[in-house]
Amino acid sequence: MASSQRLRAAVAGCTGYIGMQCVALLAAHPGVEVVRLLGRSWAGRRFSDAVPGSRVDLLVSDGLDPGAVDVVFAALPHTVAAAHAQQWIDGGVVVVDMSADFRLADAGEYQRWYGTAHPAPQLSERAVYGLVELARERLRTADLIAAPGCYPTAALLATVPALRAGLVEPRVIVDAKSGVSGAGRSPSLGVHFAEVNESVRAYGVDGHRHGGEILGRLRLEADAEVSLTFVPHLVPMTRGILATVYLQPRFGVGHDAISGVYREFCDAQPCLRYDERPPPTKSVLGSNVAAVNCTPQGDTMVVTVAIDNLVKGAAGQGVQAMNVRFDLPETSGLATASPWP
């Protein structure tokens, strides 16, 4: 891409929480022009009517000419992006899928966790998992990018460095807590104010679909069998994920060696930050940063990771992957600091 040109971007599913975050980031990106917004329920109306405070006044439409854009962010319900991805790719568009349609390379695993046959199994192996810190080089030539889930983003950043280095046993326990925006914008009883306010609850204890995504990626990164216990919790806040991960050092491995690996890993990544204390979610609010800490407790290493679930856990991660794919500065259009308090 010539330096004087800007990428033409479209966002499909623009009025959901992830979609509107994509629009906000792309509209402020110096190398991008948002030219198409798609969303059936708001088709024919201006985006700013659907999203209070937005200055983006484009009309929302319900169709896309692939020749009109360079990249599509698909913030759509599961199976919907997969139904359109082949057409978009054939039209020369890079697709950044924000749903789960291409996070699992095995179509059989997709059916197991999502309860339906995969709409485009021929594309599953073609997709590049878009956690930039783990797949930067592969993303440079990708035409289909699968943005990771929010819980998997935090969990993988908390576990992969030690697993890759062979410093810990392949037994992982992830306790993770998410704000209510992770459930999406559609109203439901489970996220009703009176149901979640002043309350914290675990859910998906018998098996959460993000657990399948986490486990599959851990096995790939470790190149070995890994066991996983994953328990997500819903907490009464709007944004944020805090993952607390428990790792068992291998015999003879000291805590300093493990924390040193995480420090080096974070130092080499523009969207990671190593904190000397376990990070609060507010310290990354609105930013594309994942804050990481390692603290020993007895013979266990406790790794905590805090992210904004709609930014580093979703839209920001997609923009970061797009930047890598189109050889733009990796943090372009992304905040790497958060206001406090």
pLDDT category at 55 given cuts 50, 70, 90 is: very high
Examine the pLDDT at 84 and tell me if it is beyond 90: yes
Query: DSSP state, 313?
Result: I
How many Cα atoms within 13 Å fall on the side-chain side of residue 177? 14
Say if CB 93 and CB 116 are below 8 A apart: no
Average pLDDT, the chain: 95
Backbone angles phi, psi at 247, to 5 degrees: -125, 145
Closest CA to 185 of 321, 306, 41: 41
Q: Nearest 5°: CA angle at 272, between 268 and 275?
A: 105
- Per-residue pLDDT at 97 exceeds 90: yes
Copy the structure tokens of residue 37. 């917004």
Q: Hey, how many other C-beta atoms are within 10 angstroms of the C-beta on 4?
A: 5
CA distance 315 to 44: 24
Residue 188, pLDDT score: 87
HSE, side-chain direction, 13 A CA sphere, residue 9: 27
Q: Give ranges for CATH 3.30.360.10 in the chain.
A: 151-309
Tokens of 59: 């009309």
* Alpha-carbon torsion (256, 247, 167, 306), positive or negative: negative
Each residue of 56-79: pLDDT tens digit?
Answer: 999 999 889 999 999 999 999 989
CATH 3.40.50.720 boundaries in the chain: 7-126
Give the β-pairing of 227-234 and 168-178: parallel
Query: What pLDDT does 289 receive?
Result: 98
pTM of the model: 0.96
pLDDT at 4: 57
* Structure tokens given for 34: 């948002």
Segment 275-280 mean pLDDT: 98
Has 150 been annotated as catalytic? Answer: yes
CB–CB of 15/60 below 8 Å? yes
Q: Give 220-265 pLDDT, tens digit per residue.
A: 999 999 999 999 999 999 999 999 999 999 999 999 999 999 999 9
Region 21-39 average pLDDT = 97
Quote the CATH superfamily of domain 7-126.
Answer: NAD(P)-binding Rossmann-like Domain (3.40.50.720)
Task: Give the residue-averaged pLDDT of 160-183.
Answer: 97
pLDDT tens profile 122-168: 998 899 999 999 999 999 999 999 999 999 999 999 999 999 999 99
Would you state the pLDDT for residue 2?
A: 41
Report the length, in residues, of the chain. 341
Domain 151-309: give its CATH code: 3.30.360.10
69 touches 12 (CB < 8 A): no
- Among the listed residues 150, 266, 271, 294, the single catalytic one is 150
